[in-house]
């Protein structure tokens, strides 16, 4: 059994979904592990992870819009307001989506559907560098 760890950093420039499928797949292919489990954790609670459709960009637009509507940037709704109007909605959106994704690797390929992409969902307005821990266990 082998294990390997890595951090992939994604620079974000405001709210929205950032596709990191290529970065992850290309790192997986470089490792000397053919089959195993890939665990991805985002080390933040104001940005999150999603597996979503990689075909029509309108899907990503509508997803962003839905989460903005359900957790609006309106300080009157929240107690935690010291970090800006986007911070508490960010924590809520993070709670509604994922902090981590666990994927399977078979013959050096991620098991994903044809239309599935891996997305970092940035919930803050300012620029950030987000750290995604990657860890494979397999052989």
Contact residues for a copy of itself, defined by CB under 8 A? 1, 3, 5, 35-37, 39, 41-46, 50-53, 56, 58-59, 61-63, 65-67, 70-71, 78-80, 82, 88, 91-92, 94-104, 106, 111-116, 131, 133, 135, 137-139
Token pair 């979503």 in the structure block, residue? 52
Cβ closer to a copy of itself: 20 or 67? Answer: 67
- CA 75 and chain centroid, separation: 25
Euclidean distance between CA atoms 93 and 9, whole angstroms: 21
Least distance in Å: CB of 80 to a copy of itself? 4
**Could you tell me whether strands 36-42 and 2-13 are parallel, antiparallel, or unpaired per DSSP bridges?**
unpaired
Q: Tabulate helix, strand, coil % of the chain (nearest 5).
A: 25, 40, 30
CB of 99 to a copy of itself, least distance (A): 4
> Do residues 14 and 127 make contact, with C-beta atoms less than 8 angstroms apart?
yes
Q: Kindly tell me which of 23 and 41 has the beta carbon lying closer to a copy of itself.
A: 41
> Nearer Cβ to a copy of itself, position 26 or 35?
35
Closest separation in Å from C-beta 136 to a copy of itself: 10
* Least distance CB 69 / a copy of itself (angstroms): 9
Query: Tokens 């960009």 sit at which residue?
Result: 57
């Amino acid at each position: 059994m082998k294990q390997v760890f890595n951090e992939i950093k994604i620079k974000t420039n405001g709210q929205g979904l950032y596709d990191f499928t290529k970065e992850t797949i290309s790192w997986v292919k470089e490792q000397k592990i053919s089959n195993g489990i890939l665990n991805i954790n985002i080390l933040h609670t104001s940005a999150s992870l999603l597996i979503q459709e990689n075909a029509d960009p309108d899907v990503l637009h509508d997803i962003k819009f839905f989460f903005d509507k359900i957790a609006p940037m309106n300080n009157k709704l929240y107690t935690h307001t010291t970090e800006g109007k986007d911070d508490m909605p960010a924590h809520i959106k993070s709670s509604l989506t994922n902090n981590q994704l666990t994927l399977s690797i078979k013959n050096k390929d991620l098991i994903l559907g044809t239309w599935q992409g891996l997305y970092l969902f940035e919930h803050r307005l300012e620029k950030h560098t987000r750290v995604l821990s990657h860890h494979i266990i397999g052989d």
